[in-house]
Structure 1
Amino acid sequence: MCSLALFPPPPLPGDVTLYEGNNALVSGRVLETLPLPFQSQLADLPTLTIPKETLKAHSRLEHSTKPAFIHHRESLWKRCINAWRDVGVCGVLSEIANAEEEVLQWVKTGSRYALAVCHWVSSLHGSLFPHLSLTSEDMIAEFSQAVDWAGCSIRAFAWHPHTSKFAVALLDDSIRVYNTNSATVPILKHRLQRNVASMAWKPLCASILAVACQTCVLVWHLDPTSLSTRPSSGCAQVLSHPGHSPVTSLAWAPSGGMLLSASPVDTAMLVWDVSTENCVQLQWFGGGGVTHLAWSPDGSKVLAATPSAVFRVWEAQMWTCERWPTIKGRCQTGCWSPDGSRLLFTVLGESVIYSLSFSEYKGEMQGQVGGPKTASIVADLSETTFETMYGEERIGGEVHSMVWDPSGERLAVIIRGNPGSRTVIAVFRTRNSPVFELLPCGFVQGEPGAQPQLIAFHPCFKKGALLTVCWSTGRISHIPFFFVGAQFPCFSPSHSPMASLSRSSTRWRHAQGLGRGCWTD
């Protein structure tokens, strides 16, 4: 089992992580450039800074639009219809119980008693699932994969699965789309695009972006050849379903044929046919809702985390599922190996990474999930003290989010530090076959005072892996991990950036001296 005690010390104060070379992370000063052989690999990727001060956050939504208009007393019937649409049964009962019109007294009395029963049931339900007592914004912040969703300028990030294009959701509810092949930066805005929690690009498609919002799912259809920086709101489809808000997670099928959405208040996850705007509910009572979705890269399985101490894995053919209870808390995050045979996940309140391996069933056994009865612990991230020239530094704690690169050879993990220790990114070297291996690589550090918020791997980086980090300062940086993948048993030195790297760099010589290299002179 891997632990933080096996990691090299973190970078020196004031240094930032620049890249990985020779199986070691290399750090330097903020303005220090990559070695010349590496610069061409990142020439077109923008390094952005979007300070919070430049964005204006929207105020909290009102429960209705009535305060914006001149007061007009509607009939009780119309008020009941509006209350049913906005609040549900409790809203209708409240309107009748508080009606000023002369209605039958026994109707008003019965409504008051029924409303009291509804409130009692709601409080009982809230005691079983405390998250239901949260406001929509607080609920999104609780279950978001962003470390500080409410306070950071960047709330969600998504790479396109096939091109060097990414979307960034910001504090002011706008979304910016950056493309390395275009200087045009479209800015997406919509009246329903509030409190974005997640985004996902449709696979095998140029420019369809699904956005998880407070009250619905928006699906933007963008013209990749357009030079417009403000696409019309008519370019967005609105997908909504009663009782399915706020939406906190989205996942496209790798084939692009289906879109999944999840809400912490809805025990069903929805399978959308975007073309017809119809959905099918995958209902499984218990758990209190669905907080996080992760579709395996091979398309065979879906992880569905809940607010309770249980999570499920669905197989995507017959749509059957298996459940795994946890001990301390809910499943916080999870990611799949590239072949879909292994799931790594973490639990709120625990400082370990768990692993589940899955078998592929055929014939009569087809349609089963095929997971083991219990999960195994593969990494211990408990707090560890590192001795540095500036004194002791404590690193470790719970995992907030983690991502596995498409080659299956690098795993990045955001560790939320305990009081007195900082939030860091730990990177592991991984191998899934013939046996599973998890080995330490190093810590990723940003500018002084910057805390990691979101992480994502570039889906098609050719020279190893490319980690994008969104920082609390509003900066978006790209950190390359240069290595030769295990799927390539041999390589030509002339095609490797390592071969032409100058040995004159002091930090490069230091990295070689760590003794963790897989390349030798």
Structure 2
Amino acid sequence: MLKLKDQQIVPPEVDQVTLCELDNELIQLKGKDDPNISRYYRNQGIDFPHIIVPYEIKNIKKNTNSCLIHSDESECKENVQNIPYEQTKNFLKKGYDTINNFIFNPLNTIFGQSEGYLRRIQYENNLQPIKAFAWHRYQQVFAIAHRQDVVYLYDLYSETWFPQSPKGLFHEEQKDITCLEWKPMSSICLAVGTSTGVCLWKVPFENTNESLNYDSIGQNPFTSIKSDVLKVGSAMLQVLKYPGFCHVSSLSWSPDGLFLAVGSAVTNTIIVWDVAAKTPVALSGAGGKGTTLLTWSNDGSFLCQSCTDNILRIWETRTWTCRTIPLKNTCHTACWYPDNRTLIFSVKDSDEISGIQMLWSPPKLDYTILVQENLGITEAETINGNKICIGGPIRRLCIDPTGQRLVINFEERDNPGCELLGLFSILRKPYLRYQPIGFIRGPNWHPGAPKPQPPRSPYNDHDTNEGYVPMPRLMSFAYEFQRGALLSVCWENGKISFIPLLFN
């Protein structure tokens, strides 16, 4: 069992901010004259832009002319294929789908856990400026979904937003955004999950010979080839809809970019789109209500689906059969290890890192349960003797593309310390283990920004509680980074932090 208190790691002070990792040590800063800044640059540190996204963007032009949009809506009303669960007879499957789609799923929406999950994600998405964040697969570009349902792209190469504020990628179909993800094997396509379906934005790139602004050593840390930048002024939109399928909660591209898996917060059915052919396939498994997450293994062999009623389902993508795994609570965070066979996850209200390992390649679905790692809660002291509680229920897990680092976001509690992210080194042999490196602290509220009161929301700018600091809300790793891993964190106050983890 892994206990944080056994590692003798000193957490950062509340007035510090994490700069980077240098070979298993987190570097914390306290002021602009901190000597660790020089140490960072001596180790060929990289300058990243200072980005704060405002909670409210005024004068947004929410119309289809905001950036030369061409709309191609695809509503599939025929030629819909349903793949049977465990190869049951087609006529029985059609009968099950009819009952499930028109009777049970609406009832689950009204009376089951699905409605509560849907309301919770809609509420949480309105508490901070950034709803969703996604790195481009091959460029140093990321996309954000603002709480006002407008999508913006940021190019680290030129340090510019596209489209320029207050304009944005917006369409009348793009409401209640919950997730977004760039298409693999493509440089221009971004999928956005909404309450009515999926918006596919196609944004062109063009070659450029401009020099980098953020790299202190004059070398692109993302890729060794010449970069492209966004071509401002054009974007095309394609809308994917499936009859009766709404409230998209999660989406995931297959690694080859051919298929887009889409989950809903109010049904266990998932839709797998052949985007090029505009053909949807509905997949239903026994048990489960709303879908909380979808994630494809890196080689495309398996698709993980989590449902709101304590169900984890593994689909194998050769014959599209599945294996249902009962859990003690709802799985709300999961990620595949780069070996394409190991899935680590955590369930609601638990401080355990659980995992399964697939034993064979598809179509076999045999698995073994991995040893659980219990983080626990421990009271730690900073250098100045301030006591904080670290650990507790896990909110989100994130593994870097190299498979060497794990970042953990803990659930919010009343005690100081829940604003810290845990950074772990992943040890593969003799079995999967997690060695603590340290704790990542983000920024304080920037001057003039309203501070929240419970429930945490910048709308409450009176009689503020000075003990609050911004909580981490979203975190992800850049796909391309040559010197280790690049972690991005979206904080509650709209700050986007870039934390390079520099290791061999």
The TM tier, using the shorter chain, reads 0.7 to 0.9
1:301–1:369 CA contact under 8 A, matched in 2:
no
What residue number does 1:454 align with? 474
After superposition, what is the alpha-carbon deviation per residue over 1:317-342, rounded to whole angstroms, capped at 9, x for unaligned?
12111111112x20011011112121
Which residue of 382, 397, 406 corresponds with 1:402? 397
| Amino acid in the other structure paired with 1:5 | K
Moved over 6 A (4+): 56-59, 119-124
Tell me by how many angstroms 1:37 deviates. 4.0
2:105–2:267 CA contact under 8 A, matched in 1:
no
Q: Compared with structure 1, are the counterparts of its residues 375 and 215 closer, same or farther at alpha carbon in structure 2 (3 Å cutoff)? A: same
After superposition, what is the alpha-carbon deviation per residue over 1:380-415, rounded to whole angstroms, capped at 9, x for unaligned?
232211123243211222111111001100001111
SS in 1 for 2:393: strand
Q: C-alpha separation between the residues in 1 aligned to 2:184 and 2:107?
A: 42
2:108–2:114 CA contact under 8 A, matched in 1:
no
Q: Compared with structure 1, are the counterparts of its residues 127 and 196 closer, same or farther at alpha carbon in structure 2 (3 Å cutoff)? A: closer
TM-score computed with the length of structure 2 as normaliser? 0.75
SS in 1 for 2:411: strand
**Percentage of identical aligned residues:** 30
2:105–2:289 CA contact under 8 A, matched in 1:
no
Tell me by how many angstroms 1:460 deviates. 1.6
| Amino acid in the other structure paired with 1:351 | D
What residue number does 2:129 align with? 153
Q: Compared with structure 1, are the counterparts of its residues 57 and 383 closer, same or farther at alpha carbon in structure 2 (3 Å cutoff)? A: farther
Query: Do structure 1's residue 426 and structure 2's residue 387 form an aligned pair?
Result: no
Tell me by how many angstroms 1:180 deviates. 2.6
Q: C-alpha separation between the residues in 2 aligned to 1:479 and 1:349?
A: 28
Q: Compared with structure 1, are the counterparts of its residues 227 and 193 closer, same or farther at alpha carbon in structure 2 (3 Å cutoff)? A: same
Q: C-alpha separation between the residues in 1 aligned to 2:386 and 2:160?
A: 47
1:243–1:265 CA contact under 8 A, matched in 2:
no
What residue number does 1:416 align with? 411
Q: C-alpha separation between the residues in 1 aligned to 2:230 and 2:377?
A: 50
2:285–2:322 CA contact under 8 A, matched in 1:
no
Tell me by how many angstroms 1:195 deviates. 1.8
**Alignment of structure 1 residues 440-451 onto 2, 5 Å:** 440-448=436-444, 449-451=469-471
SS in 2 for 1:42: coil
Q: C-alpha separation between the residues in 1 aligned to 2:10 and 2:247?
A: 41
Tell me by how many angstroms 1:128 deviates. 5.9
Which structure's residues are more often helix, by fraction? Answer: 1
Q: C-alpha separation between the residues in 2 aligned to 1:418 and 1:140?
A: 18
Query: Do structure 1's residue 163 and structure 2's residue 158 form an aligned pair?
Result: no
Tell me by how many angstroms 1:427 deviates. 0.8
Q: C-alpha separation between the residues in 1 aligned to 2:197 and 2:425?
A: 38
Tell me by how many angstroms 1:160 deviates. 1.1
After superposition, what is the alpha-carbon deviation per residue over 1:74-122, rounded to whole angstroms, capped at 9, x for unaligned?
xxxxxxxxxxx9xxxxxxxxxxxxxxxxxxxxxxxxxxxxxxxxx9989
Q: C-alpha separation between the residues in 2 aligned to 1:331 and 1:242?
A: 27
**Alignment of structure 1 residues 199-218 onto 2, 5 Å:** 199-218=180-199
Query: Do structure 1's residue 437 and structure 2's residue 433 form an aligned pair?
Result: yes
Q: C-alpha separation between the residues in 2 aligned to 1:19 and 1:28?
A: 10
1:410–1:427 CA contact under 8 A, matched in 2:
yes
SS in 2 for 1:291: strand
SS in 1 for 2:5: helix
Q: C-alpha separation between the residues in 2 aligned to 1:475 and 1:3?
A: 31
What residue number does 1:267 align with? 268
- Using the TM superposition, name which of 410-419 and 25-34 deviates more: 25-34
Q: C-alpha separation between the residues in 2 aligned to 1:122 and 1:316?
A: 25
| Amino acid in the other structure paired with 2:113 | P
Q: C-alpha separation between the residues in 2 aligned to 1:255 and 1:243?
A: 28
What residue number does 2:74 align with? none
Q: C-alpha separation between the residues in 2 aligned to 1:34 and 1:242?
A: 58
TM-score computed with the length of structure 1 as normaliser? 0.73
What residue number does 1:293 align with? 294
Which residue of 48, 52, 56 corresponds with 2:51? 48
| Amino acid in the other structure paired with 1:261 | V
What residue number does 2:247 align with? 246
Q: C-alpha separation between the residues in 1 aligned to 2:120 and 2:233?
A: 30
| Amino acid in the other structure paired with 2:390 | I
Tell me by how many angstroms 1:217 deviates. 0.3
Query: Do structure 1's residue 317 and structure 2's residue 318 form an aligned pair?
Result: yes
Which structure's residues are more often strand, by fraction? Answer: 2
Q: C-alpha separation between the residues in 2 aligned to 1:376 and 1:36?
A: 37
What residue number does 2:360 align with? 360
Tell me by how many angstroms 1:434 deviates. 5.4
Tell me by how many angstroms 1:297 deviates. 1.2
| Amino acid in the other structure paired with 1:331 | C
What residue number does 1:14 align with? 15
Q: C-alpha separation between the residues in 2 aligned to 1:407 and 1:121?
A: 42
What residue number does 2:205 align with? 224
Q: C-alpha separation between the residues in 1 aligned to 2:59 and 2:438?
A: 36
Q: Compared with structure 1, are the counterparts of its residues 35 and 190 closer, same or farther at alpha carbon in structure 2 (3 Å cutoff)? A: farther
Tell me by how many angstroms 1:38 deviates. 6.2
Query: Do structure 1's residue 130 and structure 2's residue 113 form an aligned pair?
Result: yes
Q: Compared with structure 1, are the counterparts of its residues 442 and 353 closer, same or farther at alpha carbon in structure 2 (3 Å cutoff)? A: same
Q: Compared with structure 1, are the counterparts of its residues 34 and 244 closer, same or farther at alpha carbon in structure 2 (3 Å cutoff)? A: farther
What residue number does 1:335 align with? 335
Q: C-alpha separation between the residues in 1 aligned to 2:309 and 2:341?
A: 25
Aligned residues: 409
Query: Do structure 1's residue 480 and structure 2's residue 503 form an aligned pair?
Result: no
What residue number does 1:175 align with? 151
2:252–2:295 CA contact under 8 A, matched in 1:
yes
After superposition, what is the alpha-carbon deviation per residue over 1:431-465, rounded to whole angstroms, capped at 9, x for unaligned?
33553221111110012322111100111211111
2:193–2:199 CA contact under 8 A, matched in 1:
yes
Q: Compared with structure 1, are the counterparts of its residues 368 and 26 closer, same or farther at alpha carbon in structure 2 (3 Å cutoff)? A: same
| Amino acid in the other structure paired with 1:209 | L
